[in-house]
Chains A and B, each alone.
Chain A
Amino acid sequence: MDYLLIQVLNGVQLGLLMFLLAAGLTLTFGIMDLVNLAHGSLYMMGAYFAWTLIGWTNSFVLGALLALPACFLLGVIVEIVVARRLYARDHLDQVLATFGLILFFNELVRAIWGPEGRSIAVPAFLNRTVNILPGVPYPAYRFALIVVGTIVAILLAWLVARTRVGMLIRAGASNRRMIAALGVNIELLFSLVFGLGAVFAGLAGLMAAPIASVKIGMGDDILIVAFVIIVIGGIGSIKGAFVAAMVVGQIDIVGRAFLPDFLKTFMGAASASAAAPAISQVLIYIVMAAVLVWRPTGLFGQRT
Chain B
Amino acid sequence: MAGLLSALRTPRGIVTVFLLLVLAVLPLLTQAFDQRYLLSVSTRIVIWSIAAVSLNVILGYGGLVSFGHAAFLGIGGYAVGILSAEGFESGWLQWPVAILVAVVWATLIGALSLRTRGVYFIMITLAFAQLVYYLSSGLAAYGGDDGLNISRSRFPGLIDLRDKAAFYWLCFVLLCGTLWFCSRLVHSRFGYVLRGAKSNELRMTALGFPVFRYRLVAFALAGAFGALAGILLANDGAYISPAMMSWVKSGDLIVIVVLGGIGALFGPLYGAVAFFVVEEFLPPLLDLLHRGWGEYWQIVFGPLLVMIALYARGGIDSLLGRRRD
Which A residues form the contact surface with B (CB < 8 A)? 29, 35, 82, 85-86, 89, 91-97, 99-108, 110-111, 224, 227-228, 231, 235, 274, 278, 281-282, 285-286, 288-289, 292-293, 296-298, 301, 304
The answer to whether B119 touches A91 (Cβ under 8 A) is yes
Instruction: Name the interface residues of B23-76: CB closer than 8 Å to any CB of A.
Output: 59, 65
Q: How far is the CA of A274 from the CA of B120 in the complex (A)?
A: 31
Q: How far is the CA of A106 from the CA of B304 in the complex (A)?
A: 15
- Contacts A29-B119, A282-B131; A104 near B65 (Cβ below 8 A): no
The answer to whether B296 touches A278 (Cβ under 8 A) is no
- Please, which residues of chain B bring their CB within 8 A of the CB of A231? 119-120, 123-124
The answer to whether B296 touches A111 (Cβ under 8 A) is yes
- Please, which residues of chain B bring their CB within 8 A of the CB of A304? 117
The answer to whether A97 touches B305 (Cβ under 8 A) is yes
Q: Which of B115, B298, B301 touches A293 (beta carbons < 8 Å)?
A: B115
Q: How far is the CA of A223 from the CA of B258 in the complex (A)?
A: 22
- Please, which residues of chain A bring their CB within 8 A of the CB of B123? 227-228, 231, 288, 292
Q: How far is the CA of A94 from the CA of B258 in the complex (A)?
A: 11
The answer to whether B309 touches A93 (Cβ under 8 A) is yes
The answer to whether B122 touches A91 (Cβ under 8 A) is yes
Q: Is B156 an interface position by the 8 A CB rule?
A: no
Q: Mark B251-279, 1 if CB is under 8 A from A, else 0.
A: 10011001100100000000000000000
- Please, which residues of chain A bring their CB within 8 A of the CB of B137? 278
A84 to chain B: closest CB distance in Å? Answer: 10
Q: How many residues of B contact A (CB 8 A)?
A: 42
Q: How far is the CA of A108 from the CA of B296 in the complex (A)?
A: 8
Q: Is B306 an interface position by the 8 A CB rule?
A: yes
- Contacts A35-B119, A224-B126, A278-B138; A96 near B309 (Cβ below 8 A): yes
Q: Which of A94, A104, A224, A235 touches B302 (beta carbons < 8 Å)?
A: A104
Chain B interface main SS type: helix
Q: Is B157 an interface position by the 8 A CB rule?
A: no
- Contacts A101-B306, A293-B112, A296-B116; A106 near B131 (Cβ below 8 A): no
The answer to whether A100 touches B301 (Cβ under 8 A) is yes
Q: How far is the CA of A104 from the CA of B298 in the complex (A)?
A: 6
Which residue of the partner chain B has the closest CB to A301? Answer: B120
A117 to chain B: closest CB distance in Å? Answer: 17
The answer to whether A91 touches B65 (Cβ under 8 A) is yes
- Please, which residues of chain B bring their CB within 8 A of the CB of A285? 127-128, 130-131
Question: Which of A91, A103, A111, A235 is the most central at the interface, judged by chain B CB atoms within 10 Å of its CB?
Answer: A103
A227 to chain B: closest CB distance in Å? Answer: 6
- Please, which residues of chain B bring their CB within 8 A of the CB of A100? 301-306, 309
The answer to whether B302 touches A85 (Cβ under 8 A) is no
- Please, which residues of chain A bring their CB within 8 A of the CB of B154? none
The answer to whether B119 touches A94 (Cβ under 8 A) is no
The answer to whether B127 touches A288 (Cβ under 8 A) is yes
- Contacts A231-B119, A278-B138; A289 near B127 (Cβ below 8 A): yes
